[in-house]
C-alpha cells in the first residue's frame, strides 16, 4: 500500500482571517480561535459532529448568550495542561453517553432506573405492546432531559485566558486529558496554536 504524499498548504494573513471568519460565522472572537480549531469546525466528514454546538459554548463563554446546557467550565489542575481551561460541548455523538450516565448503565443501573421500569409495569402491565415505546421514550428523552438539568457532558473545547480575553485552541476528548495522554494533548495544542498565540505557552501564562 502506498502512502499518499502530504500536501503542504500555505495561507497568507488575509486567507487565514477569511478561514476563521467562515468557521465562526463572523463572530467577534474570530481572531482568537486557532487555525486548528477553525479547520475542525469546518470539517464535515463526521455527520454526528455539530460545529454550532461548539460555537454555542464559545458564545456562552464570551457572554453573547447567557445559558449553557453543559457542565460549567473548569481549569485543568495539573501540568502540562494547567493553566488551560476546558468547557464541555454536546453533540449527537454524546447522546448515548449522557443517557447511560443518567441511569448508571455501566454499573447495572440505579434506583431511578428501577423505579422507571416499575412505573411502566404498573401503568402498562396489561398492555405489553405499549412497553417498548414508553420505555424507550423515558430512557432516552427523559434521561437526556434530566441530564440537561444537571449539565450535559460531552467532549472538550480547550481554551486559555490571557489579559481578560479567551483564546480558543482546539477540541479534545476526556480520554486525551487523562494520565500520560495529557502530554500528547499538550503537544497537540502547542503544535496547533503556539505559532499564532506564543504568549499562551510562555512560563508567565
Specify the pLDDT at position 151.
Answer: 65
Higher pLDDT, 155 or 184: 184
Banded pLDDT at 199 (limits 50, 70, 90): very high
CB-based contacts of 103, cutoff 8 Å, min separation 6: 109, 110, 112, 113, 116, 139, 143
Same domain membership, residue 134 and residue 103: yes
Residue 63 lies inside a defined structural domain of this protein: yes
Specify the pLDDT at position 79.
Answer: 93
CB atoms within 10 A of CB 133: 10
Residue 196 lies inside a defined structural domain of this protein: yes
pTM: 0.74
CATH code assigned at 49: 3.30.2310.20
Domain count for the chain: 2
Same domain membership, residue 133 and residue 49: no
Same domain membership, residue 177 and residue 159: yes
Residue 193: helix, strand or coil by DSSP?
A: helix
Same domain membership, residue 49 and residue 122: no
Specify the pLDDT at position 205.
Answer: 40
Same domain membership, residue 42 and residue 85: yes
Q: Which of 1-5, 10-14, 184-188 has the highest mean pLDDT?
A: 184-188
Residue 111 lies inside a defined structural domain of this protein: yes
| CA gap 126, 59 in Å, rounded | 49
Mean pLDDT over each residue of the chain, to the nearest integer: 84
Final residue of a structural domain among 150, 174, 190: 150
Same domain membership, residue 80 and residue 40: yes
Higher pLDDT, 107 or 41: 41
The string of pLDDT tens digits covering residues 169-185 is 999 988 898 888 999 99
Q: Do 186 and 160 form a contact (C-beta atoms < 8 A)? A: no
CB atoms within 10 A of CB 64: 13
Same domain membership, residue 86 and residue 59: yes
The string of pLDDT tens digits covering residues 122-134 is 787 777 777 777 7
Q: Taking residues 144-157, what's their average pLDDT?
A: 74
Structural domain boundaries, residue 80: 29-91+154-201
Residue 187 lies inside a defined structural domain of this protein: yes
The string of pLDDT tens digits covering residues 81-109 is 999 999 999 876 667 676 666 767 777 87
Q: Taking residues 11-40, what's their average pLDDT?
A: 94
Same domain membership, residue 158 and residue 85: yes
Same domain membership, residue 78 and residue 159: yes
Amino acid at each position: 500500500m502506498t502512502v499518499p504524499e502530504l500536501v503542504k498548504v500555505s495561507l497568507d494573513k488575509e486567507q487565514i482571517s477569511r478561514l476563521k471568519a467562515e468557521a465562526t460565522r463572523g463572530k467577534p472572537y474570530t481572531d482568537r480561535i486557532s487555525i486548528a480549531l477553525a479547520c475542525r469546525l469546518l470539517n464535515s466528514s463526521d455527520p454526528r459532529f455539530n460545529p454550532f454546538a461548539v460555537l454555542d459554548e464559545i458564545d456562552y463563554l464570551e457572554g453573547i448568550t447567557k445559558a449553557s446546557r453543559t457542565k460549567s467550565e473548569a481549569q485543568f489542575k495539573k501540568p502540562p495542561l494547567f493553566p488551560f481551561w476546558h468547557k464541555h460541548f454536546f453533540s449527537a455523538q454524546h447522546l448515548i453517553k449522557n443517557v447511560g450516565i443518567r441511569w448508571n448503565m455501566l454499573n447495572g443501573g440505579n434506583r431511578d432506573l428501577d423505579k422507571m421500569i416499575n412505573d411502566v409495569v404498573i401503568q402498562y402491565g396489561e398492555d405489553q405492546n405499549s412497553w417498548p415505546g414508553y420505555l424507550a421514550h423515558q430512557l432516552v428523552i427523559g434521561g437526556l432531559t434530566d441530564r440537561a438539568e444537571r449539565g450535559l457532558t460531552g467532549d472538550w473545547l480547550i481554551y486559555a485566558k490571557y489579559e481578560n480575553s479567551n483564546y480558543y485552541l482546539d477540541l479534545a476528548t476526556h480520554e486525551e486529558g487523562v494520565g500520560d495522554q495529557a502530554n500528547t494533548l499538550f503537544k497537540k495544542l502547542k503544535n496547533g496554536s503556539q505559532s499564532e498565540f506564543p504568549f499562551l505557552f510562555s512560563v508567565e501564562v
